[in-house]
Structure 1
């Protein structure tokens, strides 16, 4: 675990910089040390070699050994002593240095030597052979001596009149030289170690000055990734790091503003999509849903999830090909509740393009059920009006032709009957036109209501009184009941009489003999007066109740037409009641009877004023 933590530590930029800086420093110190050690060794070895060469030159200088070797010396002992004296003088100068000096003749025989090498006198020294042969004037060699001691060997030829007459051989230990080199190297190593420690500390400080702002920027980037754009990176200098921190703060501010604006635009878009009266479904280029608003779900009546295929969300009769090239329109019928009254949806498919490339599809759903219904009602209205007008006109034309050409005028009784029928059809057509004109004025808000405070009991009792005789003719019992002390209402007496006449007239028409009709009124908790007309008639099927207040709508068209109805009475009653600020509803059970209720607002002083 510690090893892994150490590895993770070196993943830090700071420690990477320190490690790289330290490695470069170690490499530089190593290269400098190797070069310095080599130069130092070359310097001391060269200095020792120069010193040996000067000593050799001193020995063979004019007046020295060369002169002695060149003299004919019949007495060899005397010459040897002279040569020994010269060597001893040199030895005294370098006493304690451990050097060994030998003087050889032209055959390599040792003639004289320092005190430590007296035993070598008279022996041949093979190391001087190369200079005696004249190959080189002097030779420097290195070798290992006893106890692995390094030695430097210097040999120089002694010449007289350009003739080699002998050689000087010097053998010097290099121990003191390498001791001096090692001492200097140790000092240099100590200095390097101290410098390295100081450099590491400075490197860490330098790396922290670089990496700390970077760490702050990294933390800020992490916070920004989580949506926090309020933090600021401290700008501690005006260098590149400080400029980077300032630029990052500037970037964070712009990102915050851009995201805020983006969120605002997104909120507006979501608000628009949510509150649109049309459904919206957007897909990608493969036809998978990426955006859907609530209205689309409500129109289709099924949940739609993002990622669902559009063909699964919309049960189209003709499949779509993706990507869509051009705009298309289609209609979709959804039979969710009532199979006889389906929901009609108009769907407009528009391709979404970006840089001339189709990247998706936008489907706009419009619920056109009401428009279709209104169009159908308009067509039905025109057809019904045409039929209602054509029927009495056809009857009138037929009877008039019979009077004019068929000889009916010859028979007074038949002529009277034909004229009576003609008059009845004319009155029927007049009522129809009157009702149509009244509905047209009500729709255009052109009807002027003569409103005034009215007593509800008076209006209802008078209406019941008007239908007492027609009810008695069918043996129907019609009564008026008042459950509460009713407040006055504020309305148009003639218009309200027309509403009551239409409702009570329908009750009398569709109530069989021997049954009853009840007109009642009560006061609701909010002050409104509720008027109800109930009968024990044939009733209305449940499927027809929603359409009963539509114009020209009849449950039994043939029977209604035979009874003289225009099919506009309930529609007129609804318009009048709503113009008074009330509502009208109908409850019915087929075979058991029907109850029509409408409400009227009370006569309040502020309303009168």
Structure 2
């Protein structure tokens, strides 16, 4: 019901409790007051009756009764006159005073109807007074129409003997009228006080609850994220101090949330720009935070709330909670070896008070490191193999010369020595290339750069391979666009690049085919030099690795032709050190084109 809603308000609760307490207090005070007031008027009324009896006794009523009993003439008239003389009660209030002899018969009365004289009073409690059991007696009873009466009896004694009694019957109508009047007046005053107190209670409750309502409203607004409003401080009491404390709390919350947002922004910025992926989970393994790098490494999106085992395709399920840090490796895209991604996973539990409440997973893409490590191992293996092969040949031929009697045959000995010399030269070239690559890697080679004419450098290179091309009936062509800018390069290093490229072109170009050397100026001033052949070409799958050290498309054929597998790697290092770039295009069975760029010789560069 709607009226029951008032009990949901602190204000009305305070008002109702306040009024209820006041009503209880007024009720208790009223009951006590009414009872005391009634007792007071009863005692006062009884005192007036006792006073009337005492006046009669002091007036000599015992002598009068004794005389009347002795046969005194006109005793009725005499006793009536005696009562009239000593009667002090309100004659209009209906009190009745009777003088009784020792047997309980009425000797005289103040009643208008005198017929009762001579009749016996049958009140049993009056008889007790006449017999001397009680000296006086007071009793209350209701008369007609609920009228209340006070009956008072007192013994009349002479020389210690009871000779009669005074009996007074007095209605208490006026007394109770006075009590009711006082009660009505008190009730009106109480109602007025109750109304005034209720108004003051409402005012007091509003004084207390209005600031509380305002604070409650502000708290609700704060719960929605608005911390800019302030609670009005209207006093310096407890409510005012509560409002002040609430405003301080709101300010501290604003500062804390602002700092939290700032820290959150910093954390998000750090997570977004980390080179490693980060996934945070709760104690149940559900994702709560993930940065962009993690999704890039995994190659898929991970939703918040997703289980970690579903986000990471682990070979074995992760058992939570972890007791300590754990590392493992994850391989992605296993089907394509060239696109294989190796991820290092580091699991670190989050602890709070000796309890594991979450997990931080750091994802590191170690594909390049693994590839470099694999290349290092392959490089060491290749070097070992390349050195072991000529050494084995040299050893076997020397043993044949020493132990096999080949020295006795001059022609055979000369052939063995020629093979040994060729293998030694091959080892020398290999070691020379390795040392050169090492110096290029460590940037220890000092290039003697100078302005060079591209046409002159290419013409000299073509001249060096003219004889070999003629021997294989290869058509060697040189095309130079006009004009070509000068380049700024080391002539010896540039010659080595051209020699490596021309040597490969001659080796892998069959007889009757052609080799073309071209040079042209690019729009940005760089010179593009290209060596094209119409030889056997290179398969597409090998092009991405063609510049790797010791990488050969056809290892057996390359080794038989005397190659070390380092020529293209050296050429790449030299070109890039000059600030250029080298690329290769090839179509298997149709030929290969190698292009590299060199920066122009700008005037401000020359010293």
Partner of 1:567: 565
The 1:452–1:164 alpha-carbon spacing in structure 2 relative to 1, beyond 3 Å, is same
Q: Tell me by how many angstroms 1:485 deviates.
A: 4.6
Report the 3-state secondary structure (helix = DSSP H, G, I; strand = E; otherwise coil) of the residue aligned with 1:512.
Answer: coil
Aligned ranges 1:102-501 → 2 under 5 Å: 102-127=98-123, 128-335=126-333, 338-339=336-337, 342-482=340-480, 485-501=483-499
Q: Tell me by how many angstroms 1:192 deviates.
A: 1.9
> What is the rounded CA distance, in whole Å, between the counterparts of 1:473 and 1:125 in structure 2?
178
Q: Tell me by how many angstroms 1:99 deviates.
A: 1.6
Q: Tell me by how many angstroms 1:503 deviates.
A: 2.0
Report the 3-state secondary structure (helix = DSSP H, G, I; strand = E; otherwise coil) of the residue aligned with 1:96.
Answer: helix
> What is the rounded CA distance, in whole Å, between the counterparts of 2:69 and 2:339 in structure 1?
155
C-alpha distance after superposition, 1:75-118 (max 9, x if no partner)? 57711111222334466852211222222222222222224443
> What is the rounded CA distance, in whole Å, between the counterparts of 2:113 and 2:575 in structure 1?
152
Residue 98, structure 1, aligned to residue 94, structure 2: yes
> What is the rounded CA distance, in whole Å, between the counterparts of 2:519 and 2:20 in structure 1?
106
Aligned ranges 1:584-603 → 2 under 5 Å: 584-603=582-601
Asked if the contact 2:89–2:95 (Cα under 8 Å) also holds between the matched residues in 1, the reply is: no
> What is the rounded CA distance, in whole Å, between the counterparts of 2:373 and 2:189 in structure 1?
105
Partner of 2:51: 54
> What is the rounded CA distance, in whole Å, between the counterparts of 1:119 and 1:602 in structure 2?
163
**C-alpha root-mean-square deviation of aligned residues, in Å?**
2.8
Q: Tell me by how many angstroms 1:553 deviates.
A: 0.4
Q: Tell me by how many angstroms 1:228 deviates.
A: 4.0
Given the two structures, how large is their TM-score scaled by the length of structure 2?
0.91
> What is the rounded CA distance, in whole Å, between the counterparts of 2:603 and 2:172 in structure 1?
135
Q: Tell me by how many angstroms 1:439 deviates.
A: 0.8
Partner of 1:80: 76
The 1:605–1:55 alpha-carbon spacing in structure 2 relative to 1, beyond 3 Å, is farther
Report the 3-state secondary structure (helix = DSSP H, G, I; strand = E; otherwise coil) of the residue aligned with 1:143.
Answer: strand
C-alpha distance after superposition, 1:156-185 (max 9, x if no partner)? 222222222222222222221122122222
Range 570-579 or range 158-167, more displaced: 158-167
Range 75-84 or range 224-233, more displaced: 224-233
Task: List runs of 5+ in structure 1 lacking aligned partners.
Answer: none
The 1:135–1:593 alpha-carbon spacing in structure 2 relative to 1, beyond 3 Å, is farther
Asked if the contact 2:59–2:86 (Cα under 8 Å) also holds between the matched residues in 1, the reply is: no
Partner of 2:31: 34
> What is the rounded CA distance, in whole Å, between the counterparts of 2:33 and 2:150 in structure 1?
22
Q: Tell me by how many angstroms 1:341 deviates.
A: 5.5
- Which of 515, 522, 526 aligns to 2:513? It is 515
Task: List runs of 5+ in structure 2 lacking aligned partners.
Answer: none
> What is the rounded CA distance, in whole Å, between the counterparts of 2:160 and 2:536 in structure 1?
165
The 1:199–1:434 alpha-carbon spacing in structure 2 relative to 1, beyond 3 Å, is same
The 1:125–1:532 alpha-carbon spacing in structure 2 relative to 1, beyond 3 Å, is farther
> What is the rounded CA distance, in whole Å, between the counterparts of 1:508 and 1:291 in structure 2?
59
Asked if the contact 2:449–2:491 (Cα under 8 Å) also holds between the matched residues in 1, the reply is: yes
The 1:323–1:484 alpha-carbon spacing in structure 2 relative to 1, beyond 3 Å, is farther
Asked if the contact 1:100–1:117 (Cα under 8 Å) also holds between the matched residues in 2, the reply is: no
Partner of 2:502: 504
> What is the rounded CA distance, in whole Å, between the counterparts of 1:107 and 1:253 in structure 2?
99
> What is the rounded CA distance, in whole Å, between the counterparts of 1:249 and 1:320 in structure 2?
48
Residue 14, structure 1, aligned to residue 26, structure 2: no
Q: Tell me by how many angstroms 1:35 deviates.
A: 1.2
- Which of 539, 546, 549 aligns to 2:547? It is 549
Asked if the contact 1:100–1:116 (Cα under 8 Å) also holds between the matched residues in 2, the reply is: no
> What is the rounded CA distance, in whole Å, between the counterparts of 1:517 and 1:252 in structure 2?
82
> What is the rounded CA distance, in whole Å, between the counterparts of 1:130 and 1:365 in structure 2?
116
Q: Tell me by how many angstroms 1:347 deviates.
A: 2.6
Asked if the contact 2:97–2:111 (Cα under 8 Å) also holds between the matched residues in 1, the reply is: no
Range 230-239 or range 126-135, more displaced: 230-239
Asked if the contact 2:540–2:587 (Cα under 8 Å) also holds between the matched residues in 1, the reply is: yes
> What is the rounded CA distance, in whole Å, between the counterparts of 1:26 and 1:483 in structure 2?
117
C-alpha distance after superposition, 1:519-572 (max 9, x if no partner)? 334444443333333333222222222211110000110011111211011101
> What is the rounded CA distance, in whole Å, between the counterparts of 2:112 and 2:487 in structure 1?
155
The 1:309–1:122 alpha-carbon spacing in structure 2 relative to 1, beyond 3 Å, is same
Range 190-199 or range 220-229, more displaced: 220-229
Q: Tell me by how many angstroms 1:483 deviates.
A: 5.7
> What is the rounded CA distance, in whole Å, between the counterparts of 2:338 and 2:122 in structure 1?
135
Range 124-133 or range 67-76, more displaced: 67-76
> What is the rounded CA distance, in whole Å, between the counterparts of 1:57 and 1:331 in structure 2?
123
The 1:201–1:530 alpha-carbon spacing in structure 2 relative to 1, beyond 3 Å, is farther
Asked if the contact 1:334–1:342 (Cα under 8 Å) also holds between the matched residues in 2, the reply is: yes
